[in-house]
A and B are shown apart, each in its own frame.
Chain A
Amino acid sequence: MRAWLVGLLAVLVLVVAAALVMEGSDEAVSPETALAVSSLLGEGDDAGLSRADPDYRPVFPVDHGPHPDFRSEWWYFTGNLEDGDGRAFGFQFTIFRFAMDGETVDRSSRWATRQAWMAHLAVTDAAGQRFLKAERLARGGDLGLAGATHGPFRAWVGDWEMVSEGEAFLPLSLSADAEDFGLRLRLLPGRGPVLQGEQGYSRKGPGEGNASHYYSYTRLPAAGELQLAGEVVSVQGNAWLDREWGTSALGPDVSGWDWFSLQFDDDTELMYYQLRRDDGSADPLSSGSMTGPVLTPLRSSEVRLEPTRFWRSDSTGIEYPVAWRMEIPSRNLVLDVDAVLDQQEMDVSVNYWEGAVIVSGTRDGRPLRGRGYLEMTGYDRNGLSP
């Protein structure tokens, strides 16, 4: 799903990795630098890297662990939380892995690696109108500065980590501390794994293998605490995990995507990503799924998606649609998705908008409410006009 982001991220991480360039990890790479290096990288050499196999079915717990032969991979946790007084918070904690090269060379240093690791951490305090974000980068390699294992599961970048409590994948704890905020959460078994796409094979672009392996945990009861500039808040709520790995590229006319992960209060969930073409229309490969008594796929032809409100970032000048109307007539579903806080832009090594949303609407004419996360990328490419 986030293949385009992956491509961009891979390029940018290569910039960071290969250069002594960046102006400080909390700042965005200037467009010139990114552009210059991405052009040098050309199409990106996929030689030696594995590609997604349509016949492959994810195997657990092995597939919770890393897949170093694929270009990119991530463990993507998001969630909506509340404290005892009903104050709402959102969080994102993601660990990305990128292979910089397909060929494994036998080297003697424990620093040697072809893997770059990146972690993003964000907490949204809707009531306090605060959006806190941080990024960590580290190299792979046997020294263990960053990496992932499957038995038992652990993924880490520096001291930010996601780790299973026992042999089983769940319960699992997340812990990460940035300079002025952090989180410590315990996630319990809920719904999942849910195999997205065609039994976990999710097409991202034209041609076979231009796809990722993709599964989700769509609801994981979460409890723990958030640290916000010295304040410690006990919270609980629901998290969502997306796992993807692959070596893929978006179609030539696709500029970015809008990705929704929504958890309704009738205990069902909806995932939908719209691969957005340059003209703003949805690519036919856009897709999603709905949980319920059975998992049902969502096709792009079933979904009508319209932005209803825009917000322009002060720091990057990029305009993002922060509210949407989603209509799925085949399911009698009408939803209004609205950001709990407009300013949830991740302007770190790469720019994207990743934020907590609140959902209201109707299913079969009955009111439906929920919470979720929305991710939007590619808006810096072609300014979308309202």
Chain B
Amino acid sequence: MSRLVARAGRRFFVRHPWQLALAIVGVALGVAVVTGVDLAGSAARRAFDASREAVVGEATHQIVSRTGLFDDAVFRTLAVDAGLRKIAPVLEGRIATEDGRVITLTGIDPFSEPPFRNYGTSAGAGGPVGTFLTQPGAVLATENLAAELGIAAGDTLRVTAAGEPRTLKLVGFLEPGPTEEAILDDYLFADMATAQEILAHIGSLSRIDLILDDAAVDAVRAGLSPGLELISTGVRSQNMEEMTRAFRVNLFALSLLALLVGAFLIYSTMSFLVVQRRNVIGTLRTMGVSRRQLFMSVIQESFLVGIPGTVIGLLLGWLLGHGLTSLVVRTIDDLYFRLQVTGVPFEWSIVVKVVLLGLGVTVAASLGPAREAAMVSPRTVLSRASLERHARRRLPGLVLFAAVVMAVAAVLLTTGSGSLVPGFAGMFAVIVAAALLTPPAIVLMMDFLAKIIGPASDLPLRMAIRGVTASLSRTGVSVAALMVAVATVIGVGLMVGSFRASVDQWLADSLRSDVYISLDEIWYTDGGDGDRLAAALAALPEVSLVSRSTRTRLAGKDGEIRLWALDSGHADWGLSLISGDAGEARRSFDAGRSVLISEPFARRSGLSVGESLELPTPRGTVEFPIAGIFRDYTSDRGVVAIHMNRFRSDWEERRLDGLGLLAGDGVDTSDLRRAADRLLGDARGVRVASNSEIRAVSLSIFDRTFTITRVLQVLVGVVAFLGVLSALQSLQMERVREMAVLRALGWTPTQIRRLVIGQTALLGTSAGLLAMPLGIVLAVILIHVINLRAFAWTMGFEMDPGVLAQGLLLAAVAAYVGGLYPAWRSASRRPAADLRDE
């Protein structure tokens, strides 16, 4: 008997291949998006691990100076006097090739390296590898870098380091493993003596790597001079990890959203398959097929959809992963740190997870329809009206259930502040509640519409309206799916738009100078002097004021602190305070009595105005009162701002890396810029940009960052479109006989087409309308809960009617296009043949 049931199921799919295909595509797309995002995240993570590996190696701890380089005698003390064995010195600096390529020169002691880093090497034709130590200027590079620089083993390379021309000689190649390779393509390795000489840092180290057991840590720490710090690499990589965590979590949430929409599709497809076969099921029931057998057969059928859907989804996801990886990496590149990815890894864990997710969601989505198939009695199953009555009877229950879910969502969203998981859970609960409310909402909307147009109007239109409500058991889930998808598109669109508007406003507020000059490492290695440049610029007649700034990183107790030293002179400082008295803050800040902290910093540290912040200085820890909290989108880690004078006196750092020029009265920005360009000549390591250029570049980086969001938005839209297509096709095909009756009653094919298209357009428009409030709610949740918790950035909510219209259009077009084919088919059928089947 169960073979009969199974055969009945299979026959259905054979006779309706499109139905099966669309269901499979729905699952496949959902699975593909999750797979693609997961793979991209994992590729980025590997690149991240590899770069961490390249920086940290096997070291458990590092000794760094709070202020940069430190005396290499420390190494001798630790290696000889303290007898530490697993300890390796590192000196890093930037050098520039003749054509301006900037490379990191890393000085190491080969004798100390073995426990730490493990790159293979091979000698070039230029001589024995032993010359690496004994020959001044000897360096090792990866073959890739050598090829890029156009040098072979034994060749010399002219570079500029510390402002002096130097000649390096490639004496051999590094042969790192594939994961490190891409990272090392930016490095030249030299013996410590060579590095100190080339970089003109005789007697200095950047850091010391150590492998220490717990017992040794305190002894080593106690023996360090005050300017030095022993930090655990765990903390350090944790910092790097935290930086990208929020980003990755958001990405994953988007992929889950895609799967959720996919799940709605699957549910609607599966339930439709049941609804459509009520005749067959009823017949089977009268033949004595048990409820259990029917239930199981629907579940089995779900595998027919789930398995091919998941497999195709995995393949698509693999391709998608490659595309998304570059987007993810570019974002991390733009926002956090240099990252290079060699390839998308194939990971079994992802495959297993996705297979379970794909099949699990498919099976879970068919549980309801399966139960439905099993529950109804043989007699009523044959009556179509009973089904619709049943569906309508359930509406009050749906509303009640939705209210409960909404209450849960409210609790999740308002409590557990700071944590992302309840935030996401709350957002999903809101979506589910909205989906539950969709069928009752449609009934209300259609009843309302029917009243408005009155009985006098066009018959096909009235029939279409009635048809939507009458086929609620089938349309409800499809409309909910479409609604969720469109709401996602709207919500994410509004969030990105609001964020962009806030960033734009913030850029306008903070970019107070007309022309900006940035000075990088090259400028300083070429022997540049920031203060002299500032003075020379101030002397230009076109310039009314020069502001100066420096960004640096301090090793704080709980991780890295970004310090931003600035001196805006008497001009507007361009900081918009969200807490603290602006006038008072400015006075104490300018006097060097206090610091300002950025909004993410305040949120992370829990500090507020009036409290004090401890910062490490070369003379020890110093407490700074906090005078204000300012809005800042430059870093989600947070920034501490301090006046340049106080910074210079406490940290003894003279370097400047940014100068802002304010044009004098009546001076045009382009004239100011030309004057600055003339003064700078062709000096290297200096970039000049106008206010508007910086703004444009910043916004383009912002847009690049959200490219991946938009890509996922489109994918969600495609999933929704296919779902609607599938649901509407099925709906209309089921009504073939109904249409035949209408034709027999004298309806023209045009009227039939209008009826079908009218009905699908109504469905789409309702979904679009219902998606608007949900989309707005989602945007608010994304802005005020998710992004605030993830990045600690507040932003204003910007209502963009364009985004809403776009969503409505998407829904309507999806439904309209989805109805075209059924409309054409219904109209062109021969009614006699369809009626004969009856």
Contact = CB atoms under 8 A, between A and B. Distances in A.
A20 B110 contact: yes
A141 B121 contact: no
B113 interface: yes
Contacts of A232: none
B571 interface: no
B108 interface: yes
B11 interface: no
A374 interface: no
Interface stretch (A49-57, A103-111, A352-360): A103-111
B192 interface: yes
Contacts of A110: 72, 193, 202-203
Given A20-B174, A25-B114, A113 B79 contact: no
A18 B129 contact: yes
Contacts of B83: 158-159, 177
B130 A143 contact: no
B109 A21 contact: no
Contacts of B428: none
A16 interface: yes
Contact of B114 (A22, A42, A145, A159): A22
Contacts of A111: 72, 109, 191-193, 196
A144 interface: yes
Interface in A226-268: none
A3 interface: no
Q: Which of B79, B114, B121, B172 has the most CB of A within 10 A?
A: B114
Interface in A100-140: 100-101, 103, 105, 107-114, 116, 136-139
A23 interface: yes
B624 interface: no
B82 interface: yes
Given A40-B123, A105-B134, A158-B80, A17 B111 contact: yes
Contacts of A143: 72-73, 75-76
A24 B193 contact: no
A18 B132 contact: yes
A305 interface: no
Interface string B70-94: 0011011001111101000000000
B162 to A, nearest CB: 13
A37 B131 CA distance: 12
Main secondary structure of the interface of A (DSSP, over half): loop
Contacts, number: 137
B76 A145 contact: yes
A59 interface: no
Contacts of A159: 79-83
A139 B121 contact: no
A112 to B, nearest CB: 4
B564 interface: no
B111 to A, nearest CB: 5
A156 interface: yes
Given A105-B134, A111-B196, A20 B108 contact: yes
A181 B401 CA distance: 72
A24 B58 CA distance: 11
B531 to A, nearest CB: 28
Q: Which of A19, A42, A105, A141 has the most CB of B within 10 A?
A: A19
Main secondary structure of the interface of B (DSSP, over half): mixed
B111 A19 contact: no
Nearest to A104: B134
Given A41-B130, A113-B193, A17 B79 contact: no
Contacts of A144: 76, 80
Nearest to B113: A20
Contacts of B121: 18-21
A337 interface: no
Interface string A135-155: 011110101110000000000
Given A18-B129, A41-B128, A111-B193, A25 B134 contact: no
A144 B134 CA distance: 17
A24 B114 contact: yes
A257 B128 CA distance: 28
Nearest to B120: A21
Q: Which of B110, B111, B194 has the most CB of A within 10 A?
A: B111
Contact of B110 (A18, A105, A136, A179): A18
Interface string B653-683: 0000000000000000000000000000000
Contacts of B742: none
B824 interface: no
B78 to A, nearest CB: 10
Interface string B105-126: 0001111111101111111000
Nearest to B58: A24
B133 interface: yes
A285 interface: no
Given A109-B193, A110-B203, A111-B193, A19 B129 contact: yes
Contact of A25 (B80, B115, B193): B115
A373 to B, nearest CB: 26
Interface in B116-159: 117-123, 128-136, 140
B295 interface: no
A299 B122 CA distance: 44
B189 interface: yes
A179 B216 CA distance: 13
Contact of B134 (A40, A42, A101): A101
A145 B87 CA distance: 12
A15 interface: yes
Contact of B197 (A109, A116, A145): A109
Contact of A112 (B79, B120, B193): B193
Contact of B193 (A36, A42, A45, A107): A107
Contacts of A112: 136, 193, 197
A105 B136 CA distance: 8
A19 B196 contact: no
Given A105-B136, A108-B202, A137-B111, A23 B118 contact: yes
Contacts of B109: 111, 139
A14 interface: yes
Nearest to A36: B122
A109 B130 contact: no
A211 B75 CA distance: 38
A274 B108 CA distance: 41
Given A20-B117, A159-B81, A114 B134 contact: yes
B192 A40 contact: no
B133 A23 contact: no
A105 B138 CA distance: 13
B721 to A, nearest CB: 55
A40 B122 CA distance: 10
A106 B665 CA distance: 58
A15 B172 CA distance: 12
B114 to A, nearest CB: 4
A17 B132 contact: yes
Contact of A138 (B108, B111, B119): B111
B80 A18 contact: no
Interface string A76-111: 000000000000000000000000110101011111
B139 to A, nearest CB: 12
B129 A14 contact: yes
Nearest to B119: A20
B193 A14 contact: no
Contacts of A107: 136, 193, 197
A139 B136 CA distance: 16
Contacts of B123: 18, 37, 40
19 contacts: A15-B129, A17-B130, A19-B129, A20-B140, A21-B121, A25-B114, A37-B128, A42-B128, A105-B135, A109-B193, A110-B72, A111-B109, A111-B191, A136-B85, A138-B79, A143-B73, A143-B76, A145-B76, A156-B80
Given A17-B130, A40-B129, A103-B134, 15 more contacts: A17-B133, A19-B132, A20-B140, A20-B189, A21-B121, A40-B128, A100-B130, A105-B134, A108-B202, A137-B111, A143-B76, A144-B76, A145-B80, A145-B111, A177-B83
In the A-B complex, the 5 residue pairs with the smallest Cβ-Cβ separation, listed nearest first, are A159-B83, A18-B129, A112-B193, A109-B193, A111-B193
